[in-house]
Amino acid sequence: MVSLRRFVSRESTVLEEAMREDLSEALKGNDLLLVEVIEYALYSGGKRIRPLLAILSARVCGRMDMTVYRLASAFEYLHVATLIHDDVIDNAMERRGRPSVVKQYGLAAAILAGDWLHARSMYLVGRYGGREGLEVFCRSTTGMVDGEFLQLRYVADCDVTEKQYFDVIHRKTALLIESTCEIGAMFGGAGKTERTALATYGHKLGIAFQVVDDLLDYLGETSSTGKKTGNDFVEGKITLPLIHAMNSSDKQVREVLMRLYESDRDDPEAFGRVFEIIDKNNGFISARHAAESMVDGAVEALEVFSGCDDQESLAMLRSLAAYVVERNR
Amino acid sequence: MVSLRRFVSRESTVLEEAMREDLSEALKGNDLLLVEVIEYALYSGGKRIRPLLAILSARVCGRMDMTVYRLASAFEYLHVATLIHDDVIDNAMERRGRPSVVKQYGLAAAILAGDWLHARSMYLVGRYGGREGLEVFCRSTTGMVDGEFLQLRYVADCDVTEKQYFDVIHRKTALLIESTCEIGAMFGGAGKTERTALATYGHKLGIAFQVVDDLLDYLGETSSTGKKTGNDFVEGKITLPLIHAMNSSDKQVREVLMRLYESDRDDPEAFGRVFEIIDKNNGFISARHAAESMVDGAVEALEVFSGCDDQESLAMLRSLAAYVVERNR
């Protein structure tokens, strides 16, 4: 059986070819700067996890045909659209080790290119996923916006509970991954059981993915992630390691943390202090455990496919889940 | 037969009710600020021209049922989404005589609320307009982005030709109005002839609408339009009155205009000079003629419906066309 790495490399090549075909069709005769911005945004070393999930979901449900790559492109388009708009909102200068779209091309181009990718993704889902697929997809894209609003509401609010944190990351991240797997399943002709199983897998994987992302914001190596650590602290995002640390520390320590979040977010030394407190209170370890247990749940949901014809795809779904907690970027 | 004003008022009431129902369904349990921003953006005294066009298009094709209001809402959502994002891009502080969404709620809320409305509009078109409707709709929304890029390319470029101007406004404005009428027709069960006729009507109406908008940027009364005049000059947008004036003036005058656009766009007196030159060279009159002749073409395209059962709706489509050139806001 091929390794995950080799599988991803093989499938990404086919996917990127399908994306190029779709773009050359969709952007024919369009303004050359628009074409350039879209290509800059889409071909930037992304991990292509979402389209791979759509492809694998369709395959474990028994459908192998090549149009799945067109459908799968939609999830990458939408993901990239949200990254572009997020970078505008956060005024982020870098993305994956190079200038963000907003930095490279300016505000107007960034907003508009995000809108373009958003529209095209809807078109592709409507075309290849049908009306029901579009319904699932739109529920996730509108839900993502809701998640972003919720996140803004909780900025620098140290009283955020674990439940509220999971609610935010469910909407902000897991919904799209869940709908990717679910729509892939529907495209694959899934029955209700398979569809629900893949939605559950996607949901749990998405949650684990975001928890790990939030861990990497503390523990990642810039050389791997292409991002500086401590961004979330500067932006006042309260994530799981901190929540766990708050839950297991005394009142005095909690007050120190609150003060640091309320007034010292621009101070690099303050980040060091927060880091130390989280570490000492096992916030990193327990957040990692939470991610691991989510991934276990994701893999369990795949049980219904244990007898499926395409054992390679099933194994890849399992490997992808394992990768999500092991990854360093 | 009812007047256009009474018709618009009656239909807008039903439409706004349908929008409220849709929003309460779609935003159930969502963040309260998101709900507030969406309502602020949607209920702001808009003219509701696009949804009315969808409704009327369906009716002249023979379909009267109430779900048309749900479909029609999509075109208002998308229109408002583009206004919100445009105001972010242009850093516009006002819209319809009140603070713009970006001014009132900030950058993040404005970008996200635009995305939300965009997503919901796609959902509604997919649901009520079917796969083919979604295809037409997405072609227009991606085309609008292309039009915005094209417009950015031509900023302060006094060599822009009439053809290039019409190309920009076709994509930027007319495509959505065209697709609104076309999807309304499809919803109404139109045959090929009716569908093409309404697409043509929408296209010509959209072009005329934008030419008049560009005229109002020079000639409008702030008390009616809710906008200051001279915005396009400040932003370097070259519109039809100027192009016509350039075409009919001598080299010396053209050089004066170019200089004003290149270096004096922040100077209120410069706008006065531009205005004067356009007026003297009949730029306003000839741009208005262009709009009128487009509207005549739009009304002609309705000929195929002359024997249709719903004469009131047909009359309203004609009246709306006349309104587009007569309007002062």
Query: For B159-176, how does the pLDDT look when each residue is reduced to its tens digit (9 = 90+)?
Result: 999 999 999 999 999 999
Q: What value of ipTM does the predicted structure carry?
A: 0.93
Which chain B residue has the Cα nearest residue A113? B145
Q: How far is A183 from chain B (nearest CA, A)?
A: 15
B236 touches A: beta carbon within 8 Å: no
Burial of A99 (0-12, 13-18, 19+ CB in 10 A): middle
Q: Which residues of A touch B122 (CB under 8 A)?
A: 119, 122, 126, 134, 138
Tens-place pLDDT, residues A131-185: 999 999 999 999 999 999 999 999 988 899 999 999 999 999 999 999 999 999 9
pLDDT band at B329 (very low <50, low <70, confident <90, very high): confident
**Predicted pLDDT at A1:** 64
> Looking at residue B96, what is its pLDDT?
86
Measure in Å the smallest separation between the Cα of B314 and chain A Cα atoms.
31
By the CB < 8 Å criterion, does A109 face chain B? yes
Q: Which residue is closest to A117 within chain B, CA to CA?
A: B142
The reported pLDDT for the residue numbered A109 is: 97
pLDDT for the residue A97: 86
Q: How far is CA B287 from CA A31, B147, B243, B245, B254, in A?
A: 26, 20, 9, 9, 18
What is the residue-averaged pLDDT of chain A? 94
Q: Which residues of A touch B149 (CB under 8 A)?
A: 30-31, 33-34, 109, 112
pLDDT at B223: 74
Question: Hey, CA dihedral for A89, A95, A98, A101, is it positive or negative?
Answer: negative
- In this complex, the residue of A116, A142, A148 whose CB is nearest that of residue B119 is A142
Residues B228-273: pLDDT tens digits? 788 899 989 999 999 999 998 999 999 999 999 887 788 888 999 9
- B155 touching chain A per CB within 8 A: no
What pLDDT is stored for residue A221 in this prediction?
A: 81
Neighbours of B60 (CB within 10 A): 28
Tell me whether residues A142 and B89 touch, CB distance under 8 A. Answer: no
Contact B126 A127 (CB under 8 A): no
The alpha-carbon gap from B215 to the nearest alpha carbon of chain A, in Å, equals 24
| pLDDT recorded at residue B228 | 79
Nearest chain A residue to B113 by CA: give it: A145
Interface list for A 66-105 with B (CB within 8 A): 85, 88-89
Span B190-210, average pLDDT: 97
> Does the beta carbon of B299 lie under 8 angstroms from any beta carbon of chain A?
no
Q: Does domain A4-326 have CATH number 1.10.760.10?
A: no
Above 70 in pLDDT, residue B1? no
Token duo for residue B52: 């009315």
pLDDT: is A156 or A111 the higher one? Answer: A111
Q: How far apart are CA A200 and CA B211, in angstroms?
A: 52
Least confident of A64-73, A227-236, B117-126, B273-282: A227-236
Give A265's pLDDT tier (boundaries 50, 70, 90): confident
Decide if pLDDT at A47 tops 90: no
Does A122 lie at the interface with B, CB-CB under 8 angstroms?
Answer: yes
Is A329's pLDDT higher than 90? no
B179, B136 in Cβ contact below 8 A?
A: yes
Report pLDDT for B119: 97
**Token couple for A194:** 């398979």
| Residue A227 pLDDT grade (very low, low, confident, very high; cuts 50, 70, 90) | confident
Name residues whose C-beta falls within 8 Å of residue A158's C-beta, 6 or more positions apart in sequence: A238, A242, A246, A254, A257, A258, A261
Look-up: residue for tokens 């094209």? B150
Structure tokens at A258: 């609150």
Global pTM?
Answer: 0.94
- B145 pLDDT higher than 80: yes
Of residues B244, B167, B170, the one with CA closest to residue B207: B170
> Is some CB atom of chain A closer than 8 A to the CB atom of B109?
yes
**B152: nearest CA in chain A?**
A108
**Chain B residues whose beta carbon lies within 8 Å of the beta carbon of residue A134:** 122-123, 126-127, 134
Q: Say if CB B188 and CB B57 are below 8 A apart.
A: yes
Judge whether A127 is closer than 8 Å to chain B, CB to CB. yes
Tokens (6 digits) for B11: 């239909």
Give yes or no for residue A224 having a pLDDT over 90. no
Please determine, for residue A239, whether its predicted confidence score (pLDDT) is greater than 90.
yes
Residue contact B142–A135, C-beta within 8 A: no
No. of H helices and E strands in chain B?
16, 2
Nearest to A33 among B34, B107, B149 (CB): B149
The rounded percent of chain B whose pLDDT value lies above 90 is 81
Lowest mean pLDDT among A270-274, B33-37, B78-82, B301-305: A270-274
Angle at which helices A283-301 and A311-326 cross, to 10°: 170
Q: Any idea where the domains of chain B sit in the sequence?
A: 4-326
* Cα-Cα end-to-end distance for chain B: 25
CB pairs under 8 A between A and B: 127
Closest CA to A56 of A75, A81, A43: A75
Q: Taking CB atoms and an 8 Å limit, are B119 and A118 in contact across chains?
A: yes
Q: Render pLDDT for A197-220 as a digit per residue (tens, 0 to 9).
A: 999 999 999 999 999 999 999 998
Contacts of B131 in chain A (CB under 8 A): 126-127, 130-131
Nearest to B122 among A108, A122, A149 (CB): A122
Share of chain A above pLDDT 90, in %: 81
